[in-house]
Amino acid sequence: MKEHEEGYSMPLSAPTYTAPPFEAMEEGKILLMVYRADKKAVAWEVPEPLKPYGDGTMLAWIGDMRQPSHSVGLYHECLTGIKVRYGDKVGWYINYIWVDHDMALTFEREIYGWPAHLCETTALRFHGSQVLGDCTRYGETLMRMSMNVTSLPPKGRTKPLEDEIAKMSGGTWLQIRKFPAPARGVKPIKEVLEIPPTDFKLHETWSGSMTLELGKSGMYPNLHALEPKEILGCYLIRASWIVPYPTVLWTNREGGGGAKGRKR
């Protein structure tokens, strides 16, 4: 195989996904909570050179997503994110994320540094105005969200929920991508990436009361310490956006791009 014949991703003769941009499509539905957790537990999760921002501010979501090229159909995705700062940029750092198939897992880890692990397929469940979401990995429950929709239909609202959601959870994504060293004594490659979603549109929005439970797990020993102390906003959304190529803001590689080796 000549180099120009290689696929964008591995396996090079049968690539798992194509190049960005990726379109998160409006068929997906997401349970979303923005909240404050214990500041010390949150700070421990944030790797250098990122810094915590917003007094322990976090978000959590459980959703059923559609995002070609790696997922033409719906796939299950669950995550927690922390509000962080890098220099003058403020955004969200994903510290845990789970998906239910390997195509989503590989694209998230390899391109964007999102630390994806596998979970079971447990689609959102609807009963009247109640919505339930779970994240289960090999029989162990890691996340559970329960929402009861109480907001008025769109035509009855005095204030648009879209503005509230954008204020709570909008903005860029700031991520650490780390490649382990392939040999003993060699420094791993570490980067700070910015992933600014574009063309974000909310197609359906609801608010209401919600609970979030984070499981106690030997695999993720700090996860349960990130449970909500104060809930800021709870939503069920149907949205679409574009995930572009990431931008390297910092790298520890000699001769690399961005602000090489400089912590802000």
Q: How far is CA 171 from CA 90, 186, 217, in A?
A: 8, 35, 30
The CATH number of domain 19-251 is 2.40.400.10: yes
Q: Distance of CA 26 to CAs 4, 189, 227, Å?
A: 35, 35, 29
**pLDDT means over runs of 10, the chain (264 residues):** 93 94 95 98 98 96 92 94 98 98 95 98 98 98 98 92 92 96 93 96 97 98 98 97 97 66 45
CB 249 within 8 A of CB 192: yes
Backbone dihedral angles phi then psi of residue 77, each to the nearest 5 degrees: -140, 135
Quick one: pLDDT at residue 231? 98
Tell me the whole-structure pTM to 2 decimals. Answer: 0.94
